[in-house]
A and B are shown apart, each in its own frame.
Chain A
Amino acid sequence: MTVTTTPLAAAAASPAARTLKLWRLEGFPLIPVLILLLIAFVAVFADFLAPYDPQIGSLARRFRPPAWEAGGSMAHLLGTDHVGRDVLSRLIFGARVSMVVGLTAVLVAGGIGTLLGILSGYLGGWVDQVIMRVTDAWLALPALTFAIFLAAIVGPSELNIIVILGGVYWTRYARVVRGEVLSLKQREFVRLAVVAGCSKWLIMRRHILPNVLNSAIVLATLMLGVVIVTEASLSFLGVGVPPPKPAWGLMMADGKKGLMVGYWWLTVFPGICIMLMVLSANLLGDWLRVKLDPQLRQL
């Protein structure tokens, strides 16, 4: 632990310079980053990559095994599912759904959480009290329970799942960010800014926000995995991304029954995808945490 504080300069430096710096640091998780980039690439170019429409199938072609198994064919490389849809195409488009749901949900959660965390930590007083009491109440409600409720109110759709996951997970950001802000407030440069007569909003925007971003980014990489897996659990409980949308979590929940019957490809392939994505995001997050913010704990 040599770096104990993040130098102001690093936070203010241009993103490109920062990335360059990170590259040179040791232990860079190359493979996880490549995997994430690959998933992102597939997500963006799904329309060109997928051989079939992921939402349309025919019952006549259901449960075809992958090409290399007996009864499989090259027409459906990774087989077909219970409605006769091409598994490979669904995986490819699933990357998009999972990426969009995962990233936006994390962004929503991070946005709400960081904002409230800064307000609560910097303004203090009754604002702090109100925000923290709400956060506590929110935290006391198991995330999944809360998600089921929200799903019941707004009905499941891709957008709503994002809102739900974002609405459930912001509390962790709020707590972490508030803690950071409390210690930043005591630091020299913030005090100087106050003395110099900067307004509260300016200080929060200019001095506080850039310095909590590191923690928020680390937390985001770690939350990505949680969000993706929660999305799958919601599908299992019947309130996730609605079929026939190709989301990895939904594919696993749907294919779960097939596992009992020997249709292993229905869950194993999306399972591998989820695993790779979550694992990669976590490994990247762990590394970032050590490099950017060694004090951060309890994540």
Chain B
Amino acid sequence: MKQFIVRRVGYSLLSLFLLSVTIFLFVRVTGDPTTLLVEPGASPEDIENMRHQFGLDQPLWVQYWLFATSFVTGDLGQSFYYRTPVLELYFQRLPNSLQLAAVAMVLSLLIGIPSGILAAVRVGGFWDSAGKTFSLLGLSLPQFWVGLVLILFFSVYLGWLPSSGSGGILHLLMPAFTLGWYFAAAHMRLTRSSMLEVLDSEYVKLARLKGLPEALVIGKHALKNALIPVITLAGINLVVMINVAVVVETVFAWPGIGRLLYEGITFRDFPVVQCVVVLGGSMIIVVNLLVDILYAYIDPRIRLES
């Protein structure tokens, strides 16, 4: 087991290294931040001056070396645009993203699990289709559109909820719902299939044979076991949500990480992009690693296979 974990951690570090090189090169070949920080037509000296300030006049490998060495010491550089250490920016935004993802996940599970259970218990029936359709709708409509419709109805027409920005729980409701709905379908599906599997298992059959009421069988015996994979998926998706909310964050002006990254890309703010991608990537890689180890712990065969 120990050897397995060491190996997996090694692989993860390798993936992280690949990711950092990829992002480092990508962000550099796709645009020049100086052309965005000065108007087109500004004097060439100004541009050269700026390139020098940012260290962009150095050869690529030198830039990468500087980036990698300072990364190891925990220094991710200064944002070109904000002239602030990027870590500071990142940790300013991270709590917002966590909040959004947490509430979105709760809403997503509130939609996904009940509709998954209904669909499993009433296979082929009305509730099966209704639950499935509602969950799938979240997947079928672009988030920017759902968001705007919500804003129009709840902020402009009714005036109940603030359209944008951060603050209290009221600011969170619409963005979290928009984000959560999109993920609901995945949770519904997994609940449904794992529920079906559990309902087919020996001990549920046994419980039924004993004449326990159906509601008890489903609610207590089946659900408890069926939810384990769903919770695992939810864990992974929570991390994914933190990192992919850019559309929702843009529509609702929610100051999260997705938005920071998107702005970083549009301004070619190299340090910001590198920081967000590498840290976000680490998060995802770590979660995948944990899941792998967890499964290896549960099922020793996996250890041997890889």
Contact = CB atoms under 8 A, between A and B. Distances in A.
The reply to whether A and B meet directly (CB within 8 Å) is yes
Contacts of A139: 284, 288
A229 B265 CA distance: 21
Contacts of B133: 279
A147 B293 CA distance: 30
A145, A152, A225, A229: which has the most chain B beta carbons within 10 Å? A145
- Interface SS majority for chain B: helix
Nearest to A149: B26
B284 A133 contact: no
A275 B144 contact: no
A120 to B, nearest CB: 11
Contact of B124 (A27, A182, A260): A27
Given A260-B152, A298-B190, A136 B31 contact: no
Interface string A264-299: 000100010011001100110010000000000111
A145 B136 contact: no
Given A233-B247, A237-B250, A237-B262, A145 B277 contact: yes
A interface, over-half SS: helix
Nearest to B17: A137
A170 B14 CA distance: 20
B78 interface: no
B23 interface: yes
Contacts of A283: 132, 136
Given A134-B18, A136-B12, A137-B15, A153 B30 contact: yes
Contacts of A133: 11, 14-15, 18
Interface residues of B, number: 59
B289 to A, nearest CB: 9
Interface string A168-184: 00000000000000100
Given A136-B12, A298-B233, A299-B189, 11 more contacts: A137-B19, A141-B19, A141-B281, A144-B247, A145-B246, A149-B30, A152-B265, A232-B144, A271-B142, A279-B140, A297-B190
18 contacts: A26-B124, A27-B124, A133-B11, A137-B19, A139-B284, A140-B281, A140-B284, A141-B23, A152-B31, A182-B305, A229-B142, A237-B247, A249-B142, A260-B152, A278-B139, A279-B136, A286-B132, A298-B229
Interface of A: 1, 26-27, 129, 132-134, 136-137, 139-145, 148-149, 152-153, 182, 225-226, 229, 232-233, 236-237, 249, 252-253, 256, 259-260, 267, 271, 274-275, 278-279, 282-283, 286, 297-299
